[in-house]
């Protein structure tokens, strides 16, 4: 399979915007390059796989590019996508991914808002790199992380408020765990997801962070985020039991993987500034076993 590069993702265009078969084929190609978590194609029925591939490709195109220099181009691209999504009832999009997403929205009668929220949050993340309070950060998570799970669940027929709320907690927990894992790499991109009030409470500063200072203040800062993520994981745990197969299996793996990352961060003494926690070779068999023997704590 030929990999679709960043340029190919942005420049793709349908000759006929009504050629939805070709649009979904492009999405499958993009989505299969990095199958992960709730978006993995395994065990998913054919119809849902087509719609899930469209949503996964949407996330892949909108994700920050590896080349930071391409960020300005991505921002312009996403602003145009947001306009096209809003106008899709009048004019069909020509980009295969957006065309497939719009077709999925119509076929499944899904709300447009989660996709628009994601585009807005991705654009915001390129402009705003600091948050004063945890409440502000939660507002960002509601648009940046929570729609990912909601889209995955709604595509597979789960639309009741309770399960969507549990999904929100799981997705927020996973995102906060990624931020803790990626403190150093995010800082290189001038992104800091510790809030101003948390810095103040911990007695630690952004200047300390930039100098790589790991002291009790830094650990206090990390532990605060760690406890928040852990609490969200605990609140989301009933989700797996509230879902049918195979979605319950993917949720269990996501939940167990996130908690395994929290344990890795704890083993490092919360110092992710100098060592990025990574999955070990034996972690995957343990996750699979844990999912098979799932039991709520």
Q: Which domains does the chain have, with CATH numbers?
A: 1-126 (no CATH), 128-297 (1.10.600.10)
Q: Of the ranges 72-86, 152-166, 202-216, which one carries the lowest mean pLDDT score? A: 72-86
Smallest CA-to-CA distance from 44 within 267, 274, 277, 244 is with 244
Whether residue 62 contacts residue 122, with contact meaning beta carbons closer than 8 Å, is answered with yes
Tokens in use for 56? 């996964």
Give residue 92's region: left, alpha or beta (phi > 0; psi -120 to 50). Answer: beta
Peptide bond into 246 cis (omega under 30): yes
pLDDT tens digits along 1-42 = 345 555 577 788 888 888 899 999 999 988 887 655 555 545
Distance CA 242, CA 259 (A): 19
Q: Which residue has the tokens 């004019």?
A: 91
Smallest CA-to-CA distance from 85 within 110, 48, 63 is with 110
pTM: 0.90
Whether residue 173 contacts residue 232, with contact meaning beta carbons closer than 8 Å, is answered with yes
User: At residue 43, does pLDDT exceed 80?
Assistant: no
pLDDT of residue 106: 96
Burial of 154 (0-12, 13-18, 19+ CB in 10 A): buried
pLDDT of residue 15: 86
């Amino acid at each position: 399979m030929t990999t679709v590069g960043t340029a190919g993702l942005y420049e793709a265009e349908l000759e006929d915007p009504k050629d939805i078969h070709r649009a979904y084929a492009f999405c499958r190609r993009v989505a299969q390059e990095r199958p992960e978590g709730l978006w993995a194609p395994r065990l998913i029925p054919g119809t849902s796989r087509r719609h899930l591939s469209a949503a996964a490709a949407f996330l892949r195109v909108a994700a920050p590019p590896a080349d930071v220099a391409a960020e300005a181009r991505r921002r312009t691209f996403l602003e145009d996508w947001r306009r096209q999504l809003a106008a899709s009832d009048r004019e069909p999009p020509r980009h295969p991914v957006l065309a497939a997403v719009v077709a999925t929205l119509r076929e499944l009668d899904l709300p447009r808002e989660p996709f628009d929220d994601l585009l807005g949050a991705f654009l915001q993340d390129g402009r705003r790199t600091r948050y004063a309070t945890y409440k502000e950060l939660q507002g960002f998570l509601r648009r940046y992380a929570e729609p990912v799970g909601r889209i995955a669940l709604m595509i597979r027929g789960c639309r009741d408020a309770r399960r969507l709320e549990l999904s929100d907690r799981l997705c927020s927990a996973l995102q906060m765990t990624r931020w803790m894992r990626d403190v150093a790499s995010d800082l290189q991109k001038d992104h800091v997801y510790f809030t101003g009030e948390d810095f103040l409470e911990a007695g630690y500063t952004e200047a300390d962070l930039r100098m790589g200072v790991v002291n009790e203040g830094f650990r206090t800062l990390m532990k605060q985020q760690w406890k928040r993520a852990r609490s969200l994981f605990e609140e989301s745990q009933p989700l797996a039991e509230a879902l049918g197969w195979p979605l319950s299996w993917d949720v269990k793996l996501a939940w167990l993987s996130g908690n395994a990352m929290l344990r890795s961060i704890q083993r490092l003494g919360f110092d992710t500034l100098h060592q990025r926690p990574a999955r070990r070779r034996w972690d995957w068999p343990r996750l699979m076993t844990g999912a098979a023997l799932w039991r709520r704590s």
